[in-house]
Amino acid sequence: MSRIAAAFREAEGPLFIGYTVAGDPDPGASVRIAASVLDAGADILELGVPFSDPVADGPVIQRAGIRALAAGTTPLGVFRMVREIRDLSEKPIVLLTYYNPVYRRGLARFYGEAAAAGVDGILAVDLPLEEADRARECAREHDLDQILLAAPTTGDARLARIVEAASGFLYLVSRTGVTGTREDLPDDLRGLIGRVKARGSVPVAVGFGISQPAHVRACAAAGADAVIVGSGIVGLVERHLADPPAMQRAIRAYIRRMKGAAGARK
Amino acid sequence: MTGSAERPAGVGRYGRFGGRYVPETLMEALIRLDGAFTRAMEDPAFRQDLTGLLTHYAGRPTPLTFCPNLSKRLALRVYLKREDLLHGGAHKLNNTLGQALLARSMGKGRIIAETGAGQHGVATAIAGARLGLPVEVYMGEVDIRRQALNVSRMELLGARVIPVASGTRTLKDAVNEALRDWVERVEDTFYLLGSIVGPHPYPLMVRTFQSVIGEEARRQILEREGRLPDTILACVGGGSNAIGIFHRFLADDVRLIGVEAGGEGLETGMHGASLCAGSPGVLHGALSYLLQDENGQVSDTHSIAAGLDYPGVGPELAHLRESGRMEAVSVTDRAAREAFSLLARTEGIVPAMESAHAIARLVEMAGELDRESVVVVNLSGRGDKDVEAPVGPV
């Protein structure tokens, strides 16, 4: 069984998925940040591959990508970071990337190298189901989960096909818009999760705009199998760039608080 | 209007290029747009509305102008397809009127657009004003500075210009911001893309609305010369004016040449020549040729012409190039500047700096062509916006 499947099977409440940008603010610090995210309680690490044109991301993650690219982050560098994180933790690692760095490297090569480094799943933000046949094939060949996205705008017919094709978990985008912290969650989250659950048994991880413990509790109450927190963590990296120990403390405290809110279902 | 909307093979595929590489949030909107576009093109009332606007409002057909002085100088028979005379001053209005009509028929309350040189922004503002739809235009800060005239025009036409400070602060980043806006407000917003780039159905839709250029040019040259031209040249940024004039000639024995922005020279890396110097990659929703590094990061580009300052190109042109049907070449900023002045002095026509690239290539290759060859250049826009560029700082 894959690490991702095992994590969901053993879960008592919703899992906590923490996102950081690989190479932000530099490769060494990025590994330490990711390790802290896992050590402080995240169940799965989602590692962002920086891209020059991140159209699905808001300003916080855009700036993190710029820092990571300025520090010389490449796909090979990301795989090196994954190896280092893998030496410290056996928890699942998912790469979250835009498609072009994967396409440019070659799908078979990228997936092979990712698997060899210890990656468990790959999600390409701009690779919808209709374009993902080859990626899903490569994922199968290398025992990786190809994580797919669903959104509030996804219609029932496509949602059924996405749920059927999903592997590992389904990344459910909570709202229209780009990544970033928001004050409120959408009102109809329970309905949205219910639409997915009615079409299959794949675990549902809810992301976009989740940055406060109350959001985590609301997701848990709405039936989410996992919550994904990105900009909240990346924002702490940015705020404490000049003081790495304070950054580590802030991230650990934040993860513990958020993870605590995930605690028990209902 | 007679633009053909025959479907590319597969879902928006041109050979191996094209497709729909977008965040899931946009997928259903693109599928609905595709359906609405297809129905509109089959709807006689929609086509009649569009033809009416193009004829009585935009000024179609545009002339095909014989250039006696340039012809004599180059020992060719040179014609210009005068999209500079279209309302707004560029070919862009062909597409914005079509898409804005579609937006209205879909009940969208708001139009967003990206712009580089400002021509697409102006054309979108015009269409929005005429059809009563509010328009917001994303424009890079660098382009706002170098195309200030068009910023004023957009504002005068009632559009809101939103400066883009991210990335290279040019067209590429304006598209990024427009896409982010669309992801946020996909339900009530129509994204009016200005070129044959982006996810399906945009390349098909924009080509369909722009192919009126080639329909007219083909008819006009047959009337004037009694035969088809030997060669057609058009500048290529995203490629909408090029496909617009080329498409009707694809099945003909006519040489088609796309002229890209060579900037400071291809060897300097400071250019916008995706077909000449790029490699296959995915940007802004389509697989096409792309200027990128070995890790798949999109490269910075440079061109004196803001409308050509873009690292990608339409997937259909990538396919036409790869299949050998279209040649792709580039000319430098310097050559474009010279052609800009040359056309002004020899024919009394000030071309857009973008279109001046096609003129520049014609001048460079004139000696290689048979004497008295019939050549058509798509003069995609007028150059008022560029009048300071040849002497001022870039």
CATH number for the B61-89+211-386 domain, one of 3.90.1150.10, 3.20.20.480, 3.40.50.1100, 3.40.50.300? 3.40.50.1100
ipTM: 0.96
Q: Mind telling me how many Å the CA of B280 is from chain A's nearest CA?
A: 8
Say if CB B230 and CB B373 are below 8 A apart. Answer: yes
Q: Mind telling me how many Å the CA of B351 is from chain A's nearest CA?
A: 32
Chain A residues in contact with B166 by the CB 8 A cut-off are 62
- For residue A156, the chain B residue with the least C-alpha distance is B28
Tell me the Cα Rg of chain B. 19
- Whether residue B4 is predicted with pLDDT greater than 70 in this model: the reply is no
Query: CB of A231 within 8 Å of any CB in chain B?
Result: no
Q: Flag whether A266 is in a domain.
A: no
Beta bridge mates, A44: A17
Q: Mind telling me how many Å the CA of A126 is from chain B's nearest CA?
A: 4
Chain B residues in contact with A162 by the CB 8 A cut-off are 24
- pLDDT given for residue B11 in this prediction: 80
Share of chain B above pLDDT 90, in %: 93
Give CA separation, B238 vs A244, B100, B257, in Å. Answer: 44, 20, 14
Query: CB of A155 within 8 Å of any CB in chain B?
Result: yes
B282, A158: Cβ pair inside 8 Å? Answer: no
Q: Report residue B337's pLDDT band, with 50, 70 and 90 as the boundaries.
A: very high
Chain A residues in contact with B112 by the CB 8 A cut-off are none
A56, B282: Cβ pair inside 8 Å? Answer: no
**What are the strands of the beta sheet with B231-235, ordered from one edge?**
B64-66, B77-82, B374-379, B231-235, B255-263, B326-332
**DSSP-derived pairing of the beta strands A15-21 and A226-229:** parallel
Closest residue to A51, CB basis, from B184, B185, B297:
B297
H helix or E strand, kind and range, residue A47: strand A44-48
Chain A residues in contact with B296 by the CB 8 A cut-off are 51, 75, 100-105
Q: Which residues of chain A have pLDDT under 70?
A: 264-266
Spot the catalytic one: B87, B91, B247, B284: B91
Residues forming CATH 3.40.50.1100 domain(s) in chain B: 13-56+92-207, 61-89+211-386
**DSSP-derived pairing of the beta strands A44-48 and B189-191:** unpaired
Any idea which fold B13-56+92-207 has?
A: Rossmann fold (3.40.50)
Average per-residue pLDDT for chain A = 96
**DSSP-derived pairing of the beta strands B279-283 and B286-290:** antiparallel
Q: What is the pLDDT of residues B244-293, one digit of tens each?
A: 999 999 999 999 999 999 999 999 999 999 999 999 999 999 999 999 99
Average pLDDT for residues B40-62, to the nearest whole number? 98
Coil, strand or helix: which one is B313? coil
* Residues of chain B that touch chain A, judged by Cβ-Cβ distance less than 8 Å: 11, 19-29, 166-167, 172-173, 176, 179-180, 183-187, 279-285, 287, 290, 292, 294-298
- Whether residue B392 is predicted with pLDDT greater than 70 in this model: the reply is no
- Whether residue B383 is predicted with pLDDT greater than 80 in this model: the reply is yes
CATH number at residue A120: 3.20.20.70
Pick the more confident residue, B3 or B129: B129
Spot the catalytic one: A10, A12, A43, A57: A57
- Whether residue B391 is predicted with pLDDT greater than 60 in this model: the reply is no
Q: Is the peptide bond before B61 cis (omega within 30 degrees of 0)?
A: yes
Average per-residue pLDDT for chain B = 95
Residues 6+ apart with CB under 8 A from A22: A30, A34, A47, A48, A49, A50, A68, A73, A77, A78, A81, A82
CB pairs under 8 A between A and B: 113
Q: What is the pLDDT of residues B6-22, one digit of tens each?
A: 666 678 999 999 999 99
Say if CB B114 and CB B120 are below 8 A apart. Answer: yes
Instruction: Give catalytic status of residue B247 as yes or no.
Output: no
Closest residue to A178, CB basis, from B28, B29, B180:
B180
Closest residue to B20, CB basis, from A52, A128, A158:
A128
Residues 6+ apart with CB under 8 A from B52: none
A126, B23: Cβ pair inside 8 Å? Answer: yes
H helix or E strand, kind and range, residue B375: strand B374-379
- Whether residue B394 is predicted with pLDDT greater than 90 in this model: the reply is no
- Whether residue B2 is predicted with pLDDT greater than 50 in this model: the reply is no
B25, A128: Cβ pair inside 8 Å? Answer: no
Chain A residues in contact with B187 by the CB 8 A cut-off are 153, 176
**Contact map slice: A 189-208 vs B, CB within 8 A:** none
Query: CB of A150 within 8 Å of any CB in chain B?
Result: yes
- For residue A59, the chain B residue with the least C-alpha distance is B166
Q: Mind telling me how many Å the CA of A46 is from chain B's nearest CA?
A: 17
Closest residue to B296, CB basis, from A105, A130, A153:
A105
B287, A125: Cβ pair inside 8 Å? Answer: no
B26, A153: Cβ pair inside 8 Å? Answer: yes
Closest residue to A52, CB basis, from B24, B279, B297:
B297
Interface residue of A53, A61, A178 to substitute, partner B, most B CBs within 10 Å: A53
- For residue B23, the chain A residue with the least C-alpha distance is A126
Indicate the number of domains in chain A. Answer: 1
Instruction: Give catalytic status of residue B284 as yes or no.
Output: no
Q: Mind telling me how many Å the CA of B279 is from chain A's nearest CA?
A: 9
Closest residue to B20, CB basis, from A53, A74, A130:
A130
Query: CB of A100 within 8 Å of any CB in chain B?
Result: yes
Distance from CA of residue A208 to its chain's centroid? 10
What is this structure's pTM?
Answer: 0.96
Q: Is the peptide bond before B8 cis (omega within 30 degrees of 0)?
A: no
Q: Flag whether A86 is in a domain.
A: yes
Average pLDDT for residues B213-239, to the nearest whole number? 98
Query: CB of A104 within 8 Å of any CB in chain B?
Result: yes
Q: Mind telling me how many Å the CA of A14 is from chain B's nearest CA?
A: 24
CA distance B69 to B67: 6
Q: Flag whether A265 is in a domain.
A: no
Q: Mind telling me how many Å the CA of B349 is from chain A's nearest CA?
A: 38
Range of the domain at A222: 3-260
